[in-house]
Amino acid sequence: MPSFSQEMFVSMLALTGAVIVVSALLSGLVERSGLPQVIVFLALGALIGPAGLALLDAGVNSPVLRVVATLSLVLVLFTDAVSLDIREVRQHRLLAALVLGPGTLASAALIAAAGWWILDLTPGMAAILGAALASTDPVLLRGLLRRPGLDPGVRQALRLESGLNDAVLLPIVLVAMAVLSRSSPLTGSEWGKLGLSLLLLSLAAGVAAGLVGVTALEFVRRRIGVRRDYESLYSLGVAFAAFAAAEAVHGSGFLAAFAAGLTIAALDVELCDCFLEYGETTAEMALLFTFVLFGASLIWSGLGVVSASTLLFTGAVLLLRPLAFLPALSLARGLSWRNRALIAWFGPRGLSSLLLVLLPVFAGVPGTEQLLPVCCLVVLVSILVHGFSPIVLLRNRPDSASSAGTQNLAGTSFENTGAERAAAVKGAAQTVARLADPEYIEISELLELQRAGEPVVVVDARSDRTFNDSELLAQGTVRITPDRGVLEAERHNLPRGAVLAVFCA
């Protein structure tokens, strides 16, 4: 046993390192090609799993899978909530209500009905499967939302859905688990106790953790200051504290994590972007790591249940979302029918679905093990169908939001080739060398360079959240979002020999 534990520990460290290295090295290729990133990590899992090099076997009873899956779901719920723009939700409350109400809930109900009718599931089991498969995958959606050809209205609707739908679907899973765990129907007092633990205790623990976390951060920041790198770690501590607090009072730690994130977002406090971006990046790494664990063995169990009924159910799942969303989105103003169809179609099932369906399995709810391979089959098909759909549906569509940022450069030629380009780059290096600090530029230095006729471009690289919430707009700047910096710099045709003065806070 000691040697096995040591080998497992080394394998986990190697796997963690591989996920980080592979995701970093392939990030540019994935962004440019539009290929679904998770396919790479499922393949990596298959390579190291029992069917490959046999380095890892993360079955449903694996303690490693249970820990990683739990942490991943906590991070997904927390980062989805904390990254929500409450002003945007209020401004587009009708769209959010349509997406979460008639859209998400109707999808869950229709998928549950399909599971009950096609797979002959009990109502409780069908409810769990319907809620799990109505959840959209944050990793697949993040890749889609970053695509430059996506219409802003579609991006807005999918961003609202991905940030809020798990909080709507998770209670359905938790209630169905409580019903299935009982051999007899719940009494009125038991329903009240269940509602108390889910709604009151869980949400109260999450709100309290969020309030305490924000208050402590603001107090210490004003008195003695907080290092930026540690502030970026702070968000993870708040998420895990909320989870632990709710579990300690017999509530749901997952709902508490979402409530903590939502509390931070609602307070509208001034948090540095690293607070959000580090949490999102860490959550994405955890999700990709979990995809590798699933790819080692568990997700391929979906291929073992392929039959006429499961294939019929899988097809129904893919078609029922548009059937639920299109009527709901008909009430949304400002969306073309094409954009409504895109929103209705892009509901990729992935890790969120697997994590939700694993909750009753980990809890030992009788009979729920049979839901997992069916969910895995739907996820595999969805990754292929929804993952490659953007390549066909969004090709050759310019991003209106990014192209608008080029208007400040109208009439300016940045074409440099050959010797001219080399001379321009050398000139830029000499210009930077004259600055007091090559990494930072004062406004006075910027103005002096502009008066001297030096090639200087001022770039507004604030995050979308900071940019949208701020009323400060510098004249003559080029707007480039940080997550698409290289692509947008090429699209704006920024001069290779110019000095870029980047405004990011």
**pLDDT at residue 273 in the model:** 60
Instruction: Using pLDDT thresholds of 50, 70 and 90, give the confidence band for residue 200.
Output: confident
Which H, E and C letters describe 152-172, residue by residue?
HHHHHHHHHHHHHHHHHHHHH
Is 90 exceeded by the pLDDT of residue 70? no
Is pLDDT at 439 greater than 60 in this prediction? no
CA atoms within 13 A on the CB side of 487: 20
34-to-31, 185, 335, 414, 434 alpha-carbon distances in Å: 5, 49, 24, 28, 41
Per-residue confidence (pLDDT) for residue 266, from 0 to 100: 82
Q: 333, 363, 396: which is the final residue of a domain? A: 396
133 band by pLDDT with thresholds 50, 70 and 90: very high
Pairing of strands 478-479, 456-460: parallel
Same domain flag for 345 and 465: no
pLDDT digits (tens, 9 = 90+) for 229-266: 677 678 788 889 999 998 888 888 888 998 998 888 88
Q: Which helix (H) or strand (E) holds 149?
A: none
Helix then strand then coil, % of the chain, to nearest 5: 75, 5, 25
Single residue among 356, 372, 396 that ends a domain in this structure: 396
Same structural domain, 229 and 307: yes
Give the pLDDT confidence of 276-333 residue by residue, as tens digits.
666 667 777 777 778 788 888 888 889 999 999 999 999 999 999 999 999 888 888 7
Half-sphere exposure of 347 (CA within 13 A, CB side): 30
Mean model confidence pLDDT for the chain: 76
C-alpha 141, offset from chain centre: 7
Residues 269 and 163 in one domain: yes
Whether residue 246 lies inside any domain: the answer is yes
- 342-353: b (≥16 Cβ within 10 Å) or e: bbbbbbbbbbbb
Instruction: Give me the phi and psi of 315, to 5 degrees please.
Output: -60, -40
| Total domains in the fold of the chain | 2
Cβ-based neighbours of 478, under 8 Å, separated by 6 or more: 405, 406, 408, 409, 457, 458, 459, 460, 492, 494
Both 267 and 411 in one domain: the answer is no
Lowest mean pLDDT among 27-36, 93-102, 114-123, 144-153: 27-36
Nearest CA among 483, 386, 383 for reference residue 41: 383
Q: Do 460 and 495 reside in the same domain of the chain?
A: yes
Q: State residue 406's pLDDT score.
A: 39
Q: What whole-number distance in Å separates Cα of residue 271 and Cα of residue 264?
A: 9
Looking at 381, 396, 411, the residue that finishes a domain is 396
Same domain? 127 vs 203: yes
CA 389 and chain centroid, separation:
18
Over 70: is that where the pLDDT of 404 sits?
no
pTM recorded for the entire structure: 0.74
Domain extent, residue 290, equals 65-396
Q: Is residue 477 part of a domain?
A: yes
pLDDT for the residue numbered 279 = 66
Statement to judge: residues 258 and 204 lie in one domain: yes
